[in-house]
Structures are given as C-alpha cells and as structure tokens.
Amino acid sequence: MIAKVIVDVPSSQTDRTFDYEIPAEWDGVIQPGMRVVVPFGPRQIQGFVVEVVAESSHAKTKPIQDVLDVLPVLTDELLAIGDWLAEHTLCFKLSAYQLMVPAALRTKVKKEVVLLAKRDHLPSALQVYFEQNDRIEWSELMKQDKSKVKDVSQAIKAGLLEVHYQVEEKGKTKTERYIRLNENQPSLEEIPARAVKQHELLRYVQNVDKPISVSVLLKDMQTTRQTVTTLIKKGFLEEFEQEVYRDPLAGIEFARTEPLKLTEKQQNVISPILDSLDQKSHKTFLLHGVTGSGKTEVYLQAIDHALKQGREAIVLVPEIALTPQMVQRFKGRFGSKVAVLHSGLSMGEKYDEWRKIKRKEVQVVVGARSAIFAPFTNIGIIIIDEEHETSYKQEENPRYHAKDVAIFRGEFHQSPVILGSATPSLESYARAKKDVYHLLPLTERVHNRAMPHVEVVDMREELRQGNRSMFSMTLFEKLKDRVEKGEQSVLFLNRRGYSTFVMCRDCGYVATCEHCDISLTYHRSHHALKCHYCGHEEKMPETCDSCGSEHIRFFGSGTQKVEEELARVLPQARVIRMDIDTTRRKGAHEKLLSAFGRGEADILLGTQMIAKGLDFPKITLVGVLAADSMLHIPDFRSAERTFQLMEQVSGRAGRHDLEGEVIIQSYTPDHYSIELVKTHEYEPFFQMEMTHRKAGLYPPYVFMVLINISHPEITKVITVSEKIVAFLKRELSEATIVLGPVASPLARIKDRYRYQCMIKYRNEPELRQTLREIQQHFIREINQGQLQVSIDLHPYLFS
Ligand code: ADP
Ligand code: ZN
Ligand code: ZN
C-alpha cells in the first residue's frame, strides 16, 4: 500500500503529496490524518498522511520510517477543511493542517504508551512490555518490533492503552495516585473487628465502585495514609497511577443553572433553530439582538437541544470576552460537558482540553477563534457570538475567518450555524437581507428593560467654556453622583489611535522608531520609549532631538493618565484599572473583574477588554472618554467599528433592575456612527453606512484583496510592486479594479519597506489562479533574497 503524504517543508514546490510505501507490518495501521516520518532527500522529516492508495504512479517509492500518531490526529473532515483553507486563503496545505493540531503535538516530545487497564487484559504479545512498569517509551517499543504498532493501535481503540505526549517543563501528563478494589477480595476476617477505620474505608471504596484518588479518599474519610497502606498490604485494595487533567478552571465554582422560561420573542427566534436541528439541515442564522435581549439564553437552550440529540456544540466568543463570567454561563448549564479553549492556557492545558474533545469526554467547546477546529465528529450546532468581531479573522498565515470555517462545518454536519450580534457586520447583515442568511431579530431587552439612555457631549463646546479636563462637566457630575450613591460606573478609553507619544512642544517633533515609521510609546514604568512593532526601546530623551528644546513630553491619554486624573478630581472614588499593563499576569483579568463584581471599586476604568461580556447589576453609568479616536483611522470600516464599540460599551449599563445611563464624549458628535448610538438603532446606521460603501466601492458591494510587498531596499519594493500590479491588470477582467502600488500606512517596519496594492472585484473567476501565480513567481526571489509578498483575501487590517 502507498501513503500520500504532505511533507513538513513549507514551500510552493513541496505543496503537493509525495508517495511513500507503507511497510507490510503497518498495513491497515496507517490512515489518513496520521503523522509519519519519511525520508526526504538526505533528511528525515515529518508529514501528514492524507490518503492511502493501492498503487503509486512512481516507479520507486521509499518506505515510511516511523509513525508519530497511533490514531489519526486529523479527522477526514479536518483534512478536507485543510484542503479548502489552502485553496481559499492561498496557504500551503501543510500550514493548514498544522493549524488544527495542538501545539503540544508539534513540538519534539517524548511519547509513552501507558497501560490503562490491567496487564492481563492486554493481548499476550503486548503483556511482556508492561511487566515492570505500567508505561513504556514509544521509541523503546518501536526498537523492539515495528509490527507492534498494529497491536498497540488496536489496544488503544479498545481503551486498554493510551499514548501520552510529554509536554513542556512541568513534564508529562499529570498523574495522581488512585485506589481501586482488588479483583480477588480476601476474606473480611483479615480485618480485625476493632479496626473500625479499615472497615469503614473498605466499605466506602466498595460503595464508590470506581477508582478514587488517594488524596480525595483521605480527606473524605478523615483517615491516615496508614489505613490505606494496610488495606493494600492485606490485598483488599490496589494502588495505581491515573492521569488527571490540568484544569485551567480549578478552584472556580460554577453554580448550576436551569433553563429559563423563554419569552415569546426568544421563542420566535429559537424555533427555526430547533427546526434546523430536528431536520438535520444546515442553515446560517443571523441572530440580531440588542444587548441584554437574551441571546445567550437562546444559545444555551439550542445547545441543550443538540446535546439531547447526541450531537456536539462549538461556541466561539471573542478572546477578550472569554471571561469567567461568560464561561460560567456555559459551565453553569452544562457542567463537565464543557471544554474551554483560549490563548491564556498553557500548551499542556490546551492539549488536555483537546484530548477531552477527542475522547468525547466533553460535548461543548467554548473558545476563541481556533476552537472552530475542535475535533468533534458529530457537530449539532455552531455559535459565533459577537460575530462582527474582527478577531475571528487570523491576521497571519493561514489568513482564515472562523465564520467561513463554521459554515463549512455546518454544511458538512448538516447543522445550524448561528451568528449572533447586537451590531452585525455590514457584510453579514447585507447577506441576511438577501436571504443568504436567515435573519432572527430580537429587538427588545428581556422583560422590556429599558435600553440605557445615551447622551453625547460635545467636547469642543467644553473646551470653549474653559474645561480642559478629560472629563466633561456632565460626566464628572454623574460619576460623583454614582460614587455617592454607591452605584458602579465603567469608564471606557479606546486605546487604538490613542497611545502616549512623545512630542516637542516647541517644534512639534515626535519621537519615532528608527526601524519603523511609527511613533514610540512612552512607558512610565521604565521611563522609556518603546516601539510596539519591533520592540525597540530607548531612554526618554531630556531634550528634543530636533531643536534641542527641553519642552519635550508625552501626549495622549492613556488609562494611567485617566487614573491619575480621577485620583485628583474624585479622590474618594475607588478605581480598578484594566488594560494590557494590569492584566499581563495570568489570572489577573479574572481577579480584577471579580473584585469589581464584589463591589470593591466604584469605577472600572479600561480599554477594549471591558467593552464586552460584562454583566454586573450595579453598573448604572458608562462613560466613553473619546468616542472618535477610532473614527479617524484610515480604514473604510472605521465608522462601523465606532458604532459597534459604542453600542457594546453602552450595553454594559442597566442590565438589571437599576436603569443605566451612558455619556459619550466626542469631538464629532454629529457623525452618524455616534449620533445613532443615542437611539440604539442599527437599521438606520446600516442604511447610512451602505450608501457610503456603495459610493466608495467597498465591501459588501465588492470583495477586496490586499497584497503587501516588503523588502529592506525601497527600490526593490517599488519595482516588484509595479510588476505585480501590471500583471494583475493584464490577467484580471476589465471590471475588476486594481489600486496601487502605494506605500503602506506603516511604510516601514523592522527596517523593511512596505508597499501595498489592492484589488476590488465583484466576480473574478481567474482570481485565485492569478494570485497563485504571483506567489509562485516570486517564490524564487523569496528564497534568494529578502522579499516578502503576502496576500490577504477579505482583509480587515490595512496597515
Ligand atoms: P444578551 O446575550 O443578548 O446580551 P443575555 O442572555 O445576557 O442577553 O440576557 C440578559 C439578561 O436577561 C441576563 O441576566 C439573563 O439571565 C436574563 N434573561 C435572559 N433570558 C431570560 C428569560 N427568558 N427570562 C428571564 N430572564 C432572562
Ligand atoms: Zn520599531
Ligand atoms: Zn523640538
């Protein structure tokens, strides 16, 4: 038999399968989705088996050297997704497959085969390896006899053995000592009647009737290790090691919740979803519900329905919304059926969660973007909450969007996909209007709770009246009022476009990075300037580099500055600040939020990370310090992002019994993206924004492709960019627009000059082929020199 293998060499020339002979002893063992080691030129490298066939068209094939997985790491479905991603994001197949394998398996790790059952349950051929120990190293086993792989893989399928990967410093999979009843129980007379504790303990273990951890046992029984040891010696109990998962949520209590009785409105939106589940037919729904309209409860009950059908569920939430509060809602309803995947987990923790999914120990995954690749095999429903969030798009290769993968999987499993948002992306809403997606509106908050009252304050007017503070009179008064009443406030500061840069007051010189064309950011803790793109750091200058003036200082309004200002004007207020600096340590995010939840502060001050998912009953005021900081970023989506963010932030207020109020401070209060937040009306915003998109010829009226070209020499960048544009203009149809080349907004990063060009098209059958040719044509130059060409289909970042 022949295995078709995608080898671990990311290049255009090797982005195809190579044939390898399957040694006879591995016949039937090697399957698609397994990783193997194969000879490649003079080297031995890893690869993914994607197909097993009877014959090769090549005369000579080399044999596979080693198998890395005893069971496939990728299912047939995930392999298909990989191929599809490679085609649609123009990445290598290898990169697409690697994306779906936990990082822990990609590192070079020791692998052990571990005995799960009793040794005598194993086929006799394998028993000899476990005489001394209940584990043996994989390489050890392989050295003895390659044909063992077949027996091992069967034993694994039967649940007798398991392969452990030794991940990271803390070593190995974590194990604990466990106790179980010995199969042959001695006579009870072996325990003297007066040894009450021993009798109690034995009865306890008999009752539990499954392995029980020694530490739990000792605690539950209030007894000593000695009692256990005696019972082991007498032959009643036996001790063994069992793997325990590293639990990222250890120590967090999740109170169980029961399904709420749905409101009529919720009933209306859930019933088409349940129909889709019952009919096992794929549909994409856009659940457009204002903040607090009860979307999450709808998700929970739809998932419950899928689980009752014996199917599984994937829930995606934006990384920064993956707070304990959010996780709690799913854990509270589905308990240990839930795995959680996010970037805060260590490599080992991620691997553990992945294995729980693989072993079908969980049925629900709640996670950030990459959780869309959860290796479930019977998906009933996929939910993408806050579907407008740009973090669902990966901004490096493979540049995939989780929504596209979700729809692919929904079609594959014939199951519904639900995109939920209070402020859908223009693209999704336009699709819903054209019935490509099925629109489910939830227009009111649960139990007719009022939407928060929004007031927009004109900061130009404040300035005219002599108020130079970062707080308007109104916001200041209201903050003070809340502190006095013992209610809570949230103060939101958008960080993008608002970093603290250093400027000379005399000549206007701004300190910039010497490797990148970007202003340096002032870091108070080191009293230093830092480049956020390349990490370059330098001392805070004492005088201006340009004119020598001493009047050089930092500008802009970071959260630290707001905190200081608050301490000055409202010294009685207790403030919790949440930004990248205060949440860098693992778990800090949760600690700060729960402190705020317990009422340990009056004001929560923060960046984007507080805009989402917060649900605290005592928040009655939300203040936005500078609403338009985002509006002036040169990006056609800046109005959309502003509206979305303002709606999100105001959604934090008045979610419970107390009414909420929002103060938005702005220098452009008349802009429709800010004006329309007052009435919380999405539809007029959509209409207005669509007219702008139409006029400027932007998505959803067209599709876009962004090509980025970079090189240390500017002349080289320009020449190549011009060649690319000329090629595109020649190959693509006349109706397609090719823009550029122009210097990128960030014209230089890490000493590389950057140019870009853009394609706008409606229907372009030749597109992917043409882009592939560009990739391949410049590959030679990439290998030779320093040129980088990146192609982004459906870009979200234009820097
Ligand atoms: P969203 O996800 O749309 O922001 P949530 O699901 O968080 O809305 O619901 C807002 C609040 O209303 C939550 O406190 C939730 O517990 C409550 N809620 C949701 N559905 C119901 C219902 N059917 N009956 C009572 N309370 C509900
Ligand atoms: Zn730099
Ligand atoms: Zn100066």
Query: pLDDT for 479-521, tens place per residue?
Result: 999 999 999 999 998 764 445 677 777 777 888 888 877 778 7
Q: Which atom of ligand 1 is nearest to the CA of 656?
A: 14
* Cα gap 419→267, rounded to integer Å: 17
Higher pLDDT, 340 or 379: 379
For the cut 60, the answer to whether the pLDDT of residue 781 exceeds it is no
Please name the residues in contact with 400: beta carbons below 8 A apart, sequence gap of 6 or more.
85, 88, 89, 99, 393, 394
231 located within any domain = yes
- End of a domain among 447, 470, 489? 447
Q: Which ligand is nearest to the CA of 544?
A: 3
- Distance of CA 32 from the midpoint of ligand 2 (Å): 44
Determine which of 28-42, 133-147, 189-203 has the lowest per-residue pLDDT on average: 133-147
pLDDT above 70 covers what percent of the chain?
93
User: For position 456, what pLDDT does the model report?
Assistant: 95
Q: Which ligand is nearest to the CA of 421?
A: 1
Per-residue pLDDT band at 240 (split at 50, 70, 90): confident
If 0-12 CB within 10 Å is exposed, 13-18 middle and 19+ buried, where does residue 723 land? middle
Name the helix (H) or strand (E) containing 482.
helix 473-485
Whether the CB-CB separation of 127 and 121 falls below 8 Å is answered with no
Phi, psi (deg, nearest 5) at residue 505: -70, -20
301 lines ligand 1 (CB under 6 A): no
- Distance of CA 744 from the midpoint of ligand 2 (Å): 15
> Which residue ranges make up the annotated binding site for Zn(2+)?
504, 507, 513, 516, 531, 534, 544, 547
716 located within any domain = yes
Q: Which ligand is nearest to the CA of 506?
A: 3
- Going by alpha carbons, the residue nearest to atom 20 of ligand 1 is 294
613 lines ligand 1 (CB under 6 A): no
52 located within any domain = yes
420 lines ligand 1 (CB under 6 A): no
Q: What does the pLDDT average to over 77-88? A: 96
* Cα gap 163→158, rounded to integer Å: 13
- Residue 571 sits in a domain of what CATH number? 3.40.50.300
Q: How far is CA 777 from CA 12, 13, 318, 768, 789, in A?
A: 10, 11, 37, 14, 11
Q: Are residues 465 and 613 in the same domain?
A: yes
Higher pLDDT, 545 or 377: 377
Q: Which ligand is nearest to the CA of 505?
A: 3
- Going by alpha carbons, the residue nearest to atom 19 of ligand 1 is 294
Q: Are residues 661 and 774 in the same domain?
A: no
- Going by alpha carbons, the residue nearest to atom 15 of ligand 1 is 294
Q: Are residues 576 and 618 in the same domain?
A: yes
Q: How many domains does the chain have?
A: 6
User: For position 171, what pLDDT does the model report?
Assistant: 39
- End of a domain among 447, 471, 489? 447
User: For position 497, what pLDDT does the model report?
Assistant: 40
Dump pLDDT digits (tens) for 743-771.
888 888 888 999 999 999 999 988 999 99
- Distance of CA 538 from the midpoint of ligand 3 (Å): 18
Q: Are residues 443 and 461 in the same domain?
A: no
Q: Report the sign of the C-alpha dihedral through residues 287, 293, 294, 296, in that order.
A: positive
287 located within any domain = yes
296 lines ligand 1 (CB under 6 A): yes
Q: Are residues 94 and 149 in the same domain?
A: no
213 lines ligand 1 (CB under 6 A): no
User: For position 245, what pLDDT does the model report?
Assistant: 65
User: For position 499, what pLDDT does the model report?
Assistant: 53
- Distance of CA 266 from the midpoint of ligand 1 (Å): 10
- End of a domain among 652, 667, 693? 693
Name the helix (H) or strand (E) containing 666.
strand 661-666
295 lines ligand 1 (CB under 6 A): yes
463 lines ligand 1 (CB under 6 A): no
Dump pLDDT digits (tens) for 312-366.
999 999 876 677 778 888 999 998 899 998 877 878 888 889 989 998 999 999 9
Whether the CB-CB separation of 789 and 708 falls below 8 Å is answered with yes
Q: Which ligand is nearest to the CA of 550?
A: 3
Q: Which atom of ligand 1 is nearest to the CA of 262?
A: 23
Q: Are residues 16 and 36 in the same domain?
A: yes
Closest CA to 365 of 347, 342, 398, 388: 342
Q: Are residues 282 and 405 in the same domain?
A: yes
Determine which of 67-71, 271-275, 404-408, 654-658 has the lowest per-residue pLDDT on average: 654-658
520 located within any domain = no
Higher pLDDT, 416 or 57: 416
Q: Which atom of ligand 1 is nearest to the CA of 291?
A: 4
Q: Are residues 135 and 181 in the same domain?
A: no
User: For position 209, what pLDDT does the model report?
Assistant: 67
Which structural domain, as residue segments, surrounds residue 195?
175-243
- Going by alpha carbons, the residue nearest to atom 25 of ligand 1 is 260
Dump pLDDT digits (tens) for 581-628.
777 777 787 788 889 989 999 999 988 777 766 778 888 999 998 887
Q: Are residues 160 and 179 in the same domain?
A: no
Per-residue pLDDT band at 246 (split at 50, 70, 90): low
pLDDT above 90 covers what percent of the chain?
46
- Distance of CA 404 from the midpoint of ligand 1 (Å): 28
536 located within any domain = no
Q: What are the residues whose beta carbon lies below 5 Å from ligand 2 (ion)?
A: 513, 515-516, 531, 533-534, 536
Q: Are residues 24 and 86 in the same domain?
A: yes
Q: Which atom of ligand 1 is nearest to the CA of 266?
A: 23
Q: Are residues 278 and 381 in the same domain?
A: yes
Task: Output DSSP code: residue 448.
Answer: G
